[in-house]
Structure 1
Amino acid sequence: MHDADVPNSDTPDQDLPPLDIPQHERRVQTSIQDLPVETLVLRIGRGSMILQPEFQRNFVWNTTKASRLIESLLLNIPIPVVYVAEASGGKQEVVDGQQRLTSISAFINGYFPESSGLSKEFKLTGLQVLSELNGKRFAELSEETQNLISQSTLRVIVIKAESHPDVKFEVFERLNLGAEKLNDQELRNCVYRGGYNALLAKLSEYKPLLDIQGLSAPHNRMADRQLILRFLALHRLTHLHYRGNMKQVMNREMEDHRDLSENALRDMEELVKKSVDMAWTVFGKRAFRRFQPGTAQNPDGVWEERLNFALWDTLLYTFSFYQKSDIVPNADRIYEEFLDLMTNDLTFVEYVTSTGDKADRVKYRADAWKKRMDSVVGPARTDSRTFTRKLKDELFTQDPTCAICGQRIQTVDDAEVDHVVHYWRGGQTVPENARLTHRYCNRARGGREI
């Protein structure tokens, strides 16, 4: 995925509900500091000034833009104010100014950070006024020029810890509206912090999902996080209740569920991984790609390389209602059914070709593919995969021995009830297919994933 592939809604913003902040806490508490560059670089190096707190995006400037910032320091051109927020342990988190501070620190330290996680030598490039410095590293500059950079002063506004946390993030969002524009998911990452946001970051590292996207690391503009959010939002809402404006649906999903319980977050994680696993099993690296059938002039069909967001919504959403035991034995037939759908249902093809998220298109795509899935697999299973607490108590009373490691389970809270025959292989959630295990042993044992 490239930056051009970042899914961003073109639906106009709609009013969001007001922030629930007590009236006496609505003003930002700040202090002002004028600090030399060398002091800022020192703080960054020892970790007392954090360039990438959890709400920040990745470094996205290129060497030319970063070099021209260095040129501005040498020309004594005023640099925009840097905003930081007080954090625990006396540290400061950069709210606005990350790109500037990263560029300055990287030049002085000699290495430019790449999106791949690697670094390269930072040599000035693209300077228009001080062109004689192009190609030089900081260490190659004269002592006088080095001092001009190190002793340049930046104004830092510190948002005090006593400021309401929601006010701090409101400041961040507004400041960045006038800077290098954040995409929708980067803004959500700023505003809707919490367990849900952390889950999206964690899932973006899931290897089958990276393989499907053709990535070795999570997308540096959070496109993968937005894809995961699209899926979870549509799954919770269902296509039958979707009324359009996917951007607003995703905003509401994160706003309403930002502080879910650990159990709820774990269920969501399992749902995403299970659904992605099924897509990978059926389609491999062709998952969520459009297939264009051959023509009379060229009978060979063609798979598009770019991931199709409409197919992502449609296929993953439908897979989420099935179990692996439904999909694995029928993978080849599902694959062929998809090819037939992309060849013969011209309305479906039209609705996955356009990028619009209109309600009628989302509903048609979901219904059309679900009918195909039902014809191959049958209706999705509705039986529970979770054993009752009562059964766990009964098994623990009868014999508190772990069926995996053979050791005694000390307390019932350390125990889980496990399927003898895996649920995803068709095992039923009945006492005859149940055994007691350590919670750890059950989670650690292999064979669960495809």
Structure 2
Amino acid sequence: MTQDDDIALPDDIDEEEDEGAAVLKVEDVQDVLLYTLDWSVQSLLERIGNTFDINPAFQRRDAWNVYKKSRYIESLMLGLPVPQVVLAEDNKKKGSFIVLDGKQRLVTMKQFAAPSDLFPAFKLRNLEFLTQLNRLSFKQIQGSAEHADFVENLLAQPVRTIVVRNWRTPAVLYQIFVRLNQGSLSLSPQELRQALFPGEFNSWINARSAGSSPIHQARRIKSEDFRMRDAEMLLRGVAFNERVEEYQGDLRKFLDEMCSIGNSAWDARSEHYEELATQVELAIERTIDIFGHRDSFLRFSEDDYVRRFNIAVFDAMCLVLGSPEIDDASLRDNGPRIVDGYKNLCVNNDSFQSALKSTTKTAKATVDRVVLFGGVVEEVLGVKLGIIDRVKTLVATSGSGE
């Protein structure tokens, strides 16, 4: 996939989800084993939320509407073909599985046939064949002598499941789910990250981003995003503010490590992470204040902004404009000069252009974005930004940074 954030990508792909493929060798994947199981819906219902550890945060970001859920349940009741579920054995928790593909289908089964507070019930709608079951819940169908057979059919229906065993690193699972879903709406890296790194930090990232008006404004969405792009934005903001000095160009690994570190340190550092999230939101508000909502987090080209959210610009704005050395009143008064300086970088500085368009994920690109834009802010406001010295250490630690 191209790294040019401005190329028109299909609707199911977003630039912030293209975190770059980890370098894998043949030996990383050649020992991976696959085996198949045919579990009945009844057996799956007993496992969902138990040995199939589906993070409750997923349910808040439901990707399917009631009509799609209803058609899936109708297919199971009639024995029509349904897609397979793909799992990976959890290397850290014996007897448990990570859902690689089929999360929404499993959630739909649970919501309909075994609802709970975490899996809220729904009634069937807009069925194509079993129209007599429209507007009925599982309990209503189960309690009807006329329709009870459909419940038995549903619970007994086998669902083909493929299980991945002997995987070595999360990068292997990323590669598997990408290939499994080539050309369809697969899990985003952030969705898979919830399964690979469960814990309080990850749950907090989900909840905090779901309720963050500034993040939604920046991403131009009205509420929480079912693809978890808002969660990934907050994770990026926290990760770069927390440990930018350690970034070496592998974005996926960097974000994975932040999840692991955050989960381990949550009890001791939860208040600190809250402060970082507030800093990210402050940077967003400052960006919108001086650029305007319409032009914020966009790359400028020639004589106008490219009308596509640019995650590289977002990263730079969060690091620079979230700086505690900045005075809000001074920033507001000098906003037009900062905007002009940013436009000038976008048009006339080759390094800055490259850092926003092509080699966006390298350590050098991160340095260039922050140092060049931060330099504009320093000059205009007459302040010294600590973040610039922090990112400059990447040049020494990463060699060329490429």
- What TM-score does the superposition give when structure 2 sets the normalisation length? 0.63
Contact 2:15 2:311 (C-alpha < 8 Å) held by counterparts: no
2:194 match: 189
- Report deviation, 1:120: 8.5
What pairs up with 1:260-409 in 2 under 5 angstroms? Answer: 260-284=265-289, 285-286=293-294, 288-290=296-298, 292=300, 295=303, 302-303=304-305, 306-323=308-325, 326-345=326-345, 346-348=347-349, 350-351=353-354, 353-354=356-357, 356-357=359-360, 358-380=362-384
2:134 match: 137
Cα distance in 2 between the residues matched to 1:248 and 1:272: 20
- Report deviation, 1:309: 0.6
Contact 1:107 1:138 (C-alpha < 8 Å) held by counterparts: no
Please identify, of 174-183 and 348-357, the stretch whose mean Cα deviation from structure 2 is larger.
Answer: 174-183
Cα shift readout 1:75-95 (whole Å, capped 9, x = no counterpart) = 36587469799xxxxxx9995
2:224 match: 218
Cα distance in 2 between the residues matched to 1:71 and 1:377: 63
Cα distance in 1 between the residues matched to 2:202 and 2:50: 24
1:124 match: 127
Pair 1:138–1:93, CA change in 2 (3 A): farther
Cα distance in 2 between the residues matched to 1:94 and 1:249: 21
Cα distance in 2 between the residues matched to 1:120 and 1:139: 5
Cα distance in 1 between the residues matched to 2:157 and 2:307: 48
Q: Is the helix fraction higher in 1 or 2?
A: 2
Give 1 or 2 for the bigger CA radius of gyration.
Answer: 1
Cα distance in 2 between the residues matched to 1:290 and 1:268: 27
Cα distance in 1 between the residues matched to 2:159 and 2:332: 62
1:25 match: none
Q: Which runs of 5+ in 1 are unaligned?
A: 17-31, 86-91, 111-116, 126-131, 160-165, 296-301, 383-450
Residue 239 of structure 2 is aligned to residue 230 of structure 1? no
Contact 2:15 2:310 (C-alpha < 8 Å) held by counterparts: no
Q: Which residue identity does 1:329 align to in structure 2?
A: A
- Report deviation, 1:190: 1.2
2:55 to 53, 64, 76: 53
Could you say what secondary structure the match of 1:211 adopts? helix
1:258 match: 263
- Report deviation, 1:308: 1.6
Cα distance in 2 between the residues matched to 1:335 and 1:252: 35
Could you say what secondary structure the match of 1:259 adopts? helix
Q: Which residue identity does 1:368 align to in structure 2?
A: L
- Report deviation, 1:372: 0.9
Q: Which runs of 5+ in 2 are unaligned?
A: 1-10, 26-36, 90-95, 387-402
Q: Which residue identity does 1:318 align to in structure 2?
A: V
Pair 1:8–1:53, CA change in 2 (3 A): closer
Contact 1:195 1:260 (C-alpha < 8 Å) held by counterparts: no
Cα shift readout 1:11-45 (whole Å, capped 9, x = no counterpart) = 222369xxxxxxxxxxxxxxx996565x977999x
- What TM-score does the superposition give when structure 1 sets the normalisation length? 0.57
Q: Which residue identity does 1:224 align to in structure 2?
A: D
Pair 1:352–1:150, CA change in 2 (3 A): same
Could you say what secondary structure the match of 1:289 adopts? coil
Cα shift readout 1:225-257 (whole Å, capped 9, x = no counterpart) = 211222233223436x64322222222332344
Cα shift readout 1:179-221 (whole Å, capped 9, x = no counterpart) = 6632211121111222321231233022322233333322111
Q: Which residue identity does 1:254 align to in structure 2?
A: C
Pair 1:191–1:327, CA change in 2 (3 A): same
2:29 match: none
Q: Provide the aligned length of Structure 1 versus Structure 2.
A: 340
Q: Which residue identity does 2:298 align to in structure 1?
A: R
- Report deviation, 1:223: 0.9
- Report deviation, 1:143: 2.8
1:200 to 199, 205, 209: 205
Contact 2:191 2:228 (C-alpha < 8 Å) held by counterparts: yes
Q: Which residue identity does 1:370 align to in structure 2?
A: G
Could you say what secondary structure the match of 2:279 adopts? helix
Contact 2:299 2:305 (C-alpha < 8 Å) held by counterparts: yes
Pair 1:334–1:259, CA change in 2 (3 A): farther
Contact 1:192 1:254 (C-alpha < 8 Å) held by counterparts: yes
Cα distance in 2 between the residues matched to 1:321 and 1:307: 22
Could you say what secondary structure the match of 2:249 adopts? coil
Could you say what secondary structure the match of 2:273 adopts? helix
Cα distance in 1 between the residues matched to 2:14 and 2:231: 13
Pair 1:192–1:14, CA change in 2 (3 A): farther
1:5 match: 14
- Report deviation, 1:277: 1.7
Q: Which residue identity does 2:339 align to in structure 1?
A: L
* Identical residues among aligned pairs (%): 16
- Report deviation, 1:173: 7.6
Cα distance in 2 between the residues matched to 1:293 and 1:11: 25
1:75 to 79, 89, 101: 79
